[in-house]
Amino acid sequence: MSERQYVVFKLDKLEFGIEIMNIEEVVNYQDPTLLPNSPDFMEGVINYRDKVIPIINLKKRLLLGEENYKNDDTRIIIIDLDGKEVGFLVDGVSQTIRLANNEIEEAPELISTVDRRYIEGIGKLGEERLLILIDLNNILSIREIEELKTVNE
């Protein structure tokens, strides 16, 4: 039986999972520097290992509300997005888990086509806990990725 490993993170009361192989690093929150004329879901940029990294507010991007409440649990998940490092602001990272293929269901048909491009499925953790599995590589449109590539050029 094949299984995959996921990092579990929270946005408000919802739990999400991203395959661990897609993550470069999870770092503590630091205040981003705001940039003029940036997309509304972009919090700004941070200096990460001598690179300027754009920070995406995942709550805004997923239309889950505007505000991230920054506290000791707030983290930035850094991934390589089409050759560019990008950080995603989340409310907290709680654990890593392994899910067997039979513990993952396809996303329900009612989810819109736009959402389906980044929702890989729903992970079942016991009887009462569900995990929304997403692919952060598909969370932005091609145009949005191109906009982000110009941030540190």
Question: Torsion over CA of 123, 143, 86 and 117, rounded to 10 degrees?
Answer: 10
How many residues does the structure list for the chain? 153
Of 19, 39, 27, the closest CA to residue 97 belongs to 19
pLDDT value of position 113? 46
Residue 26's alpha-carbon distances to 15, 20, 30, 97, 135, in angstroms, are 16, 11, 12, 15, 16
pLDDT value of position 74? 92
pLDDT value of position 19? 92
Q: For each successive 10 residues of the chain (153 residues), what is the average pLDDT?
A: 89 90 93 87 91 90 74 91 88 92 81 65 86 84 70 56
pLDDT value of position 111? 57
Q: What is the pTM of this model?
A: 0.86
